[in-house]
Amino acid sequence: MESTTFDKGYSPGQQAWRRLLQNKAALYSMVILALIVFVCLFLVSISPWQLDDVDWDNIGTAPSFIGQHYFGTDANGRDLFVRTLQGGRISLMVGLLATAVSFIIGILYGAVAGYTGGKTDALMMRFVDILYALPFMFFVILLTVYFGRSIWLIFIAIGAVEWLTMARIVRGQSLALKRRSFVEAARVTGASHFNIIKRHIIPNTLGPVIVYATLTVPQVILFESFLSFLGLGVQEPMTSWGVLIAEGASQMESAPWMLLFPAGFLVVTLFCLNFIGDGLRDALDPKDR
């Protein structure tokens, strides 16, 4: 880090952004991820096929440009290019939404526990400890077995699982923050507890929480793919990378492209998100470097 960076007077946010851009792995990951998101959102229409169109002349054919099946077709003659991109939309959406759910629950819960302190805090965090010890993956599976498979259930279930760590991080931060003089100053001026949590506690905990949230997105995508792979997640006619990988795995001897394209997209996305998360952590927390 050259000292000139500081001479010009950048805000901590700008400094963090510069550090992030200097991290080659994170920079390339952001570019590639943006590309994947763009492809999934906008390029479906360059293919003449729809999600569940069946091309009777091309059942289980290898990738080719002549039939306009860029990634080949599956065992039912459906175009894999369109399915992979549509599946990507679902996987990415699940990743973002479920992370958002856990983000909100975790921040509120953690901030209230840490700020209130004392018995309430002990009780609330003991509850988190107990939930932590539960095998959640299996409870989510139980839920899908009992209440049917819906994508909303998956969002909620995953979001409800992932908030625990978020709550712990925020609680630890708020415990330290509430002793700081600016919080005391706010209290002296008559700000309500609600306003103090909203205006002073939560904004100051965001740094580590954003890092953790970035690392949560790949976990959630993985979780959804895992459920879908087992046949317990996203249901037909919708699809996701997990579903496609499961279909591909069952056909891989005759049609390896059915496995390789969705698996490739999933793995590259996970790589990018992990690198970005690591990069963000280094950028926001320079003392680790």
Partner 1 sequence: MLSYILKRIAGTLPTLFIIITIAFFMIRLAPGGPFDSEREVPPEIAENLERVYHLNDPLWQQYGYYLLNVLKGDFGPSFKYQDYSVSELIAQGFPVSIQLGLLAIILALVIGVTLGSIAALRQNKTVDYLVMTLAMTGITIPNFVMAPILVLVFAVFLGWLPAGGWGDLKHMVLPVIALSLPQIAMVARMTRASLIETMNAPYIKTAKAKGLPPRLILLRHASRATMLPIISWLGPASAAIITGSVVVEQIFGLPGIGRHFVNGALNRDYTLVMGVVIFYGVIIILMNLLVDLLYAWLDPRIRY
Total residue length of the chain: 289
**In this complex, which beta carbon is closest to partner 1, that of residue 108 or of residue 143?**
143
Q: Taking contact as CB under 8 A, which single stretch among the options 11-19, 43-51, 150-158, 239-247 is the one that binds partner 1?
A: 239-247
Q: Is 43 in the site for partner 1 (CB under 8 A)?
A: no
Closest CA to 100 of 238, 239, 210: 210
Residue whose entry in the numeric block shows the structure tokens 């894999």? 80
Where are the extended beta strands (E) located within 72-204?
A: none
Q: Is 139 in the site for partner 1 (CB under 8 A)?
A: yes
Q: Is 259 in the site for partner 1 (CB under 8 A)?
A: yes
| Separation between Cα atoms, residue 81 and residue 210, nearest integer Å | 33
Q: Taking contact as CB under 8 A, which single stretch among the options 14-22, 66-74, 197-205, 269-277 is the one that binds partner 1?
A: 269-277
**In this complex, which beta carbon is closest to partner 1, that of residue 108 or of residue 141?**
141
Q: Taking contact as CB under 8 A, which single stretch among the options 44-52, 135-143, 173-181, 194-202 is the one that binds partner 1?
A: 135-143
Smallest gap from Cβ 256 to partner 1, in A, equals: 6
| Separation between Cα atoms, residue 215 and residue 120, nearest integer Å | 29
Q: Is 152 in the site for partner 1 (CB under 8 A)?
A: no
Q: Taking contact as CB under 8 A, which single stretch among the options 112-120, 142-150, 165-173, 206-214 is the one that binds partner 1?
A: 142-150
| Separation between Cα atoms, residue 157 and residue 155, nearest integer Å | 6
| Separation between Cα atoms, residue 202 and residue 211, nearest integer Å | 15
Listed in sequence order, the residues at least 6 apart from 256 whose beta carbon sits closer than 8 Å to its beta carbon are: 248
Q: Is 242 in the site for partner 1 (CB under 8 A)?
A: yes
**169 contacts 113 by C-beta, under 8 angstroms:** no
**219 contacts 270 by C-beta, under 8 angstroms:** no
| Separation between Cα atoms, residue 89 and residue 114, nearest integer Å | 37
Residue of 246, 255, 276, 284 that binds partner 1 (CB under 8 A): 246
| Separation between Cα atoms, residue 49 and residue 32, nearest integer Å | 25
Q: Is 214 in the site for partner 1 (CB under 8 A)?
A: no
Residue of 90, 113, 160, 245 that binds partner 1 (CB under 8 A): 245
Interface ranges with partner 1 (CB under 8 A): 130, 133-135, 137-139, 141-147, 218, 222, 225-226, 229-232, 242, 245-246, 248-249, 252-253, 256, 259, 263, 266-267, 270-271, 274
